[in-house]
Chain A
């Protein structure tokens, strides 16, 4: 498997504020990676650094083996869909779809047409007059139809209703299956995309807190619930991620449990449940330490 993106010791400071702090990650070719984290964690900055739109403070970035800054060879194979993309005054969607093919060598006009119909985008209405969802749809369509070997989607779903979001995920999956490419997707709506992701990277305050395969992550935590004493006995000595109590009951999220552990838990009359990716991300990025313990 080829590595498309290699980042080592990357840092970005804006004056006194460190937005990206010593980040090192690698992203494989033809995979879907989720870039997750709270608002202001550094997801957008990360993508801007990877596409040469921002200049790094230190460290190295290699995209397709080269530094992406001012590198037209690399950028021609990249598409970055920003949720805050600005368009010239008086531009209409038709202008965007007319000009995009000039910059994306793999552009599929037929696909773009079908997507315009799917998202019901009014092609000849001024972009200034479009709803937030329609504006996002433009970005989504460009990102999908570009067939760029490396495509970034930065929170592309803003303003899209649930139906439109599902359309986006479906079209992305379909197209990705037929025409594999490397996709990096940042989002807050983790549960909606957790089944799509192969690789999960979680950023918190500029640092990587999780970097692994979605499968590994699923495996990495479980929730044990039942009578408090029994639960406490079982989780003693284990890494506790989260604890909730209600009367005599407790529900504790712990680290990885192997088959033997699971048997022991069942034998003790405890209920086991998985931990959703969203829950896992929340637990590892909550900075308020008092969240660790909550009683009702």
Chain B
């Protein structure tokens, strides 16, 4: 082998290669990101199924049965996967970012590659959930009137509406998680305290304003009028804001201990 001369150095690796490499980096240990959440979902599903089975078995009157089925529709079991993905996003920024820095990836390439990974995961998982919802309907609640994927929250009757809602919610959790982690990476514990302090103040402040101006009924009306689909659509705003702020925060982040 000969000398590595400066002039004929290794290819000026184009940025795009490193964006893709970062994308792949998030899936190197895919068990945690792809396999584990679904294993846990399967477990949760199984437990829920047992509960649905026991309940519907023990009820005899038709009205009771209908009530129970209605109740199932408000289960929060499925939210697990969204929260898990938020944790994945937090870890992606908290831990994969230092590794990417160690590999000499620019912050820009890292953010692009990571956002790409988030979008792909959101699309893939949304498809899976949509399929599961479809199966749930087709089997009349998995044979026991259960409801895990066709919740009342995500009313959509048309499959692509459901898919869209899942997608938007996934993106929300991903980018909120990423942005929050970016705050920690950039400003560490102090930054986190400051962030939550400000957030807390905003929430309490808004609640105080609403109380003083007696506008709670109006708030309630707005929620009802907007409906679940509307809220999901509105969530795109904080999602986009997180994506932008996450980038602005991360681009000056340094590996200080």
Residues in A neighbouring B257, C-beta threshold 8 A: 84
Do B105 and A53 touch across chains, with their CB atoms under 8 A apart?
no
Q: Does B208 contact A (CB under 8 A)?
A: no
Tell me the chain A residues, 138-153 only, with Cβ under 8 Å from chain B: 147, 149
A87–B99 CB distance below 8 A = yes
Contacting residues of chain A (65-83) with chain B, CB-CB under 8 angstroms: 70-73, 75-80, 82
B1-41 toward A: CB 8 Å interface, digit per residue (1/0)?
10110100111111100100100110011011000000000
In contact, B9 and A55 (Cβ under 8 angstroms): no
Shortest Cβ gap from B191 to chain A (Å)? 15
Q: Which of A51, A82, A103 contacts B21 (CB 8 A)?
A: A103
Identify the closest chain A residue to B255 (Cβ): A53
Within the complex, the shortest CB–CB distance from A54 to chain B, in Å, comes to 5
A169 within 8 A of B: no
Q: Which residues of B contact A178 (CB under 8 A)?
A: 1
B235 at the interface (CB under 8 A from A): no
Within A249-290, the residues touching B (CB, 8 Å) are none
Contacts of A181 in B (CB 8 A): 4
Is the CB–CB distance between B95 and A95 below 8 Å? Answer: no
Contacts of A79 in B (CB 8 A): 104
Give A139's nearest chain B residue, CB to CB.
Answer: B102
Q: Which of A54, A70, A92, A180 touches B3 (beta carbons < 8 Å)? A: A180
Q: Pick from A92, A100, A180: contact of B4, CB below 8 A.
A: A180
- Nearest residue (CB) in A for B11 is A105
Q: Which residue of B lies closest to A82 (CB)?
A: B102
CB closest residue in chain A, given B95: A88
Of the listed residues B21, B25, B101, the one surrounded by the most CB atoms of chain A closer than 10 A to its CB is: B101
Q: Could you tell me if B6 and A72 are in contact, using CB atoms closer than 8 angstroms?
A: no
The answer to whether B1 and A179 touch across the interface, beta carbons within 8 angstroms, is yes
Contact flags A86-113 to B (C-beta < 8 A → 1, else 0): 1111111001001110111110000000
Size of the chain B interface, CB-CB below 8 angstroms: 38
- Docked CA distance A87–B32 (Å): 14
The answer to whether B32 and A90 have CB atoms under 8 Å apart is: yes
Given contacts A90-B32, A103-B21, A179-B1, A85 and B102 within 8 Å (CB-CB): yes
Q: Is B108 an interface residue (CB 8 A)?
A: yes
**How close is A138's CB to chain B, nearest CB, in angstroms?**
11
Interface residues in B103-136 by Cβ distance below 8 A to A read 103-109
Q: How far is the CB of A102 from chain B (nearest CB, A)?
A: 4
Task: Decide if A64 is an interface residue (CB 8 Å cutoff).
Answer: yes
The answer to whether B104 touches A70, judged by C-beta atoms less than 8 angstroms apart, is no
Tell me, in angstroms, the Cα distance from A48 to B254 when the chains sit together. Answer: 9
Are the C-beta atoms of A72 and B11 separated by less than 8 Å?
no
Q: In the bound complex, how far is the Cα of B107 from the Cα of A79, in angstroms?
A: 16
Q: Is B73 an interface residue (CB 8 A)?
A: no
Q: Give the distance in Å from the alpha carbon of A70 to the alpha carbon of B11 in the complex.
A: 17
Q: Does A205 contact B (CB under 8 A)?
A: no
Q: How far apart are A143's CB and chain B's nearest CB, in angstroms? A: 10
CB–CB A72/B13 < 8 A: yes
> How far is B13's CA from A104's CA once the two chains are assembled, in angstroms?
9
Contact between A103 and B18, CB atoms less than 8 A apart: yes
Tell me if B156 counts as interface (CB < 8 A to partner A). no
Q: Say yes or no: B104 contacts A103, CB within 8 Å.
A: yes
A282 vs chain B, min Cβ distance (A): 27
- Assess whether B6 is in contact with A71, with CB atoms less than 8 Å apart: no
What's the least CB distance linking B176 to chain A, in Å?
20
- Select which of B99, B104, B255 is within 8 A of A48 by beta carbon: B255
| Residue interface bits B78-102, CB-to-A below 8 A is 1, else 0 | 0000000000000100011011011
Q: A55-B252, A70-B106, A95-B29 are in contact. Are A147 and B4 (CB under 8 A)?
A: yes
Q: What are the residues of chain A within 8 A of B31 when measuring CB–CB?
A: 90
A54–B254 CB distance below 8 A: yes
- Is A295 located at the chain interface by the 8 A CB criterion? no
Residues of A within 8 A of B105 (CB): 72, 75, 103
Interface check A30, CB cutoff 8 A: yes
A29 within 8 A of B: yes
Instruction: Give A104 to B14 CA distance when docked, in angstroms.
Output: 12
Contacts of A98 in B (CB 8 A): 28
20 contacts between A and B (CB under 8 A): A30-B3, A48-B255, A55-B254, A64-B6, A70-B107, A75-B104, A78-B104, A82-B102, A85-B99, A85-B102, A90-B29, A91-B28, A95-B28, A95-B29, A99-B25, A102-B24, A103-B105, A149-B6, A149-B9, A179-B1
* New contact pairs (12) apart from A85-B98, A98-B28, A99-B24, CB-CB < 8 Å: A53-B101, A64-B9, A76-B18, A77-B9, A80-B104, A85-B102, A89-B91, A92-B29, A99-B28, A104-B103, A149-B9, A149-B10
Which 9 A/B pairs are nearest by Cβ-Cβ distance? A75-B104, A76-B13, A102-B21, A103-B103, A105-B10, A88-B95, A86-B98, A70-B106, A73-B12
Interface residues of A (CB under 8 A from B): 2, 4, 29-30, 48, 51-55, 64, 70-73, 75-80, 82, 84-92, 95, 98-100, 102-106, 147, 149, 178-181
